Structure 1
Amino acid sequence: MIRLDRYVAWTVTLMMVLAGVGLLGVLSLFTMLEQLESLRHEYNLQAVLRYMAYTTPRRFYELVPYTALIGCLAGLGMLASNSELVIMRAAGLSTRRLTLAATAPAILLVAFGLGLGEYVVPAAERIAQNDRARARAEGAIVNEFGHWYREGDVYMHFDLISRGGVLEGVSHYVFEDDAMVAARYAERAVYHDIDEARRYWLLKGVTESALGEAAASVRALPSLEWRSELTPQVLATEMLVQPDKLSIAELDYKIGYLARQELSTVSYELAYWRKILLPLSTVGLVFIAVSFVFGPLRESTMAVRVLSGLAVGVLYKFAEGLLGPLSLVYGIEPWIVVLLPILGCLGIGGWFMSRVG
């Protein structure tokens, strides 16, 4: 029986590898065509290829559940087409054991994906987005309206972010009881990380204005230390890297940071729970694949099975995107929203398996 388990697992693994290579190739092709349409300044073909290389780990990570789904569907489907599943079941291999044998490669794939998503994707994605933004903007991250940020009662505006995380055109607006009480402008700000006790931004070319009830005072300073929780890493996360491309640890820190500033954390919580529940979502899709092979797709061709896997993957992704805004609109807990499509997969798979049983 152990040999049969290994044979099933090996067949599914081989199909997962082929599915992963195929999906990654197609997605990379579309991404490259999209990037080639936006060539400008220093963002040339060489920069596009560098961007593609750095973002490959992220694309693979995003495809993990769908690779497991299609690989499992194709692997078990091939065994079914050759009547090997019938022989295995006749030899005493139960449907449950076949399911476990098919799920084992998916678990290994998820473990690899989680390691990639936690330790490789965030750093590679940050490099890719920084390089692309600076190449497109000739050395600085530029937004037509600048960049706004809030920390407590202080609202900040940066004209642009130069290389090395240097801020250009820094404006601070301090509010108390819904009224602005002070304003500050600095030509630039450079971050200094000396040690844990000495982390600050050094503002240069500073003009400070204090707004009183009767009068306002203005003073000019050559430089000024500005202590803040805001760091170049937080800025890079906020301005360049989307929540779903951060690691679990970075998401946890970002959620805490935004909560302390009384800002919305929903988008980061959704990304956090999607990463935490990635193993369960993958198992849910694999369960769908197994139930399809033993149920409605038992006599189908390989092409039909692969297309069915793609259709299920698209529907699952659509459900994720559709349910996500419910947290914002109706205040539903993000973990519930993320869990709903997973429970749907398990429910549909269980229904098909019960009919087979």
Structure 2
Amino acid sequence: MSILTRYLSFHILKNILSVLMLLTVVFSIFSVLAELEIVKGTDGIKLIPIFWLLEILLLGYTLIPFAVLIGSVLGLSSFVSTNQLLIMQISGFNARYRMNSIILVGITIFAISFVLGEFIVPVVKKFKAEIQLSIGETRDFTLTDKGFWARSHNIFFKVDTLQSNHTVIDVELYEFNNEMELLSILTADSGTHNGLAWVFEGVNVLTFKPEYSKKKYDSSFEKKLTIGPDIMEMIVHEQKDQSIFALLAYLNLAKITGQTSDDLYFNIFQKVGLWIDIFVLLVLSHFVVRASLGRFSSSKNIITAVCVGFGYFMIGKVLNQAGLVFSLPSVLVAFMPSMLLIIMIYIFKNRPN
């Protein structure tokens, strides 16, 4: 790899990381200010710095695509405005060297994104939820007003509320035979998982077959189920915040239990789409900034990049909603932003000088 390629790559990477840091700090301040409004007690105030750190990590991952485009355009614009890029082109810095630079920067940003998204964000997201409960937010992990449903073979598990400490509230357990005839209904006020089985409190069991009976348990009632709290949390927490490894593991389990969904496939495809977009956005930045144009304006290029970046996020949100409304294929919705960015590359590539 040539010295010029390394020099350009380092300059672009430095600008991308600078923009990412600036955007992350600014947006995290607004998140902390919003959280301060609901803080209760001195213990909650003490947790605010930790909350800020966690918010920085989460926002850093979310803002990577935006920072890639803005930072890359900013770096290339500074090269053009000082005639460095023009001199490099005269010295033989052709498209092949540019592609090498895109690959080098893209791999570096991909590595950062992969570490953040697959190892740090899933842990930070759960820790942040626990901190929010500690500083005063009265919310837990309820999926819908009708509760959370899961299935394990012929057992249907309904939970109204899933709390952060592997505790479930208001449980209903329906057990069927192979002919899907109802055998029993178990209701419980609460339950916790001890690592091996669920331990329920306030249990009532209504049995229909082989004999009808009704029994109330004053002591704890233990029952082993293949559905554990980790699987529940994977569904209740936003799946986009789970690692690709966790999503694939859940996909295997979902196939066994017959609970696969378009949302699960969408979140897997969306992660892959994000990694692809890193490279596509880098390519786009090189076509946004061109040294051969008769009139060059750094501010115009940066404004263009900001508009494209916001459009990227907005279109992604709109497509998510459109996919739900019109039942579009998950792979189409997940990769549509990438395809639109490729169209933008074609437009900028063929714009008149």
TM-score computed with the length of structure 1 as normaliser: 0.84
User: What does residue range 157-172 of structure 1 map to in structure 2 within 5 Å?
Assistant: 157-158=158-159, 160-161=161-162, 164-172=165-173
The equivalent of 1:237 in structure 2 is 234
Inter-partner Cα distance in structure 2 for 1:298 and 1:189: 70
- SS at 2:200 equivalent: strand
The equivalent of 1:323 in structure 2 is 319
Residue 165 of structure 2 aligns with an amino acid whose one-letter code is G
Question: C-alpha deviations, 1:147-169, integer Å up to 9, x for none?
Answer: 43221554444455566323344
Structure 2 gap segments, 5+ residues each: none
The equivalent of 2:191 in structure 1 is 189
Aligned residues of 2:184 and 2:208 also touching (Cα < 8 A):
yes
- SS at 1:189 equivalent: strand
The equivalent of 1:285 in structure 2 is 281
Question: C-alpha deviations, 1:111-166, integer Å up to 9, x for none?
Answer: 1110221111111211111232354367x837595843221554444455566323
Aligned CA distance change for structure 1 residues 256 and 297 (closer, same or farther; 3 Å): farther
The equivalent of 2:140 in structure 1 is 141
Inter-partner Cα distance in structure 1 for 2:253 and 2:284: 38
Residue 187 of structure 2 aligns with an amino acid whose one-letter code is Y
What is the CA distance between 1:209 and its match in structure 2?
Answer: 0.5
What is the CA distance between 1:95 and its match in structure 2?
Answer: 3.2
Residue 140 of structure 2 aligns with an amino acid whose one-letter code is I
Question: C-alpha deviations, 1:247-281, integer Å up to 9, x for none?
Answer: 00111123333444444622232221121232211
- SS at 1:141 equivalent: coil
Aligned residues of 1:47 and 1:132 also touching (Cα < 8 A):
no
The equivalent of 1:113 in structure 2 is 113
Inter-partner Cα distance in structure 1 for 2:335 and 2:248: 19
The equivalent of 2:28 in structure 1 is 28
Aligned CA distance change for structure 1 residues 36 and 267 (closer, same or farther; 3 Å): farther
Aligned residues of 1:107 and 1:279 also touching (Cα < 8 A):
no
Residue 118 of structure 1 aligns with an amino acid whose one-letter code is E
What is the CA distance between 1:90 and its match in structure 2?
Answer: 1.4
Q: Does 1:265 align with 2:265?
A: no
Residue 311 of structure 1 aligns with an amino acid whose one-letter code is C
- SS at 1:280 equivalent: helix
TM-score computed with the length of structure 2 as normaliser: 0.85
Structure 1 gap segments, 5+ residues each: 194-198
Residue 289 of structure 2 aligns with an amino acid whose one-letter code is V
Inter-partner Cα distance in structure 2 for 1:298 and 1:289: 18
Aligned residues of 1:121 and 1:245 also touching (Cα < 8 A):
yes
Q: Whose strand proportion is higher, 1 or 2?
A: 1
The equivalent of 1:173 in structure 2 is 174
Q: Does 1:342 align with 2:345?
A: no
What is the CA distance between 1:246 and its match in structure 2?
Answer: 0.8
Q: Match for 2:207 among 206, 210, 214? A: 210
Inter-partner Cα distance in structure 1 for 2:180 and 2:51: 44
Aligned residues of 1:190 and 1:203 also touching (Cα < 8 A):
yes
Inter-partner Cα distance in structure 2 for 1:261 and 1:200: 19
What is the CA distance between 1:30 and its match in structure 2?
Answer: 2.2
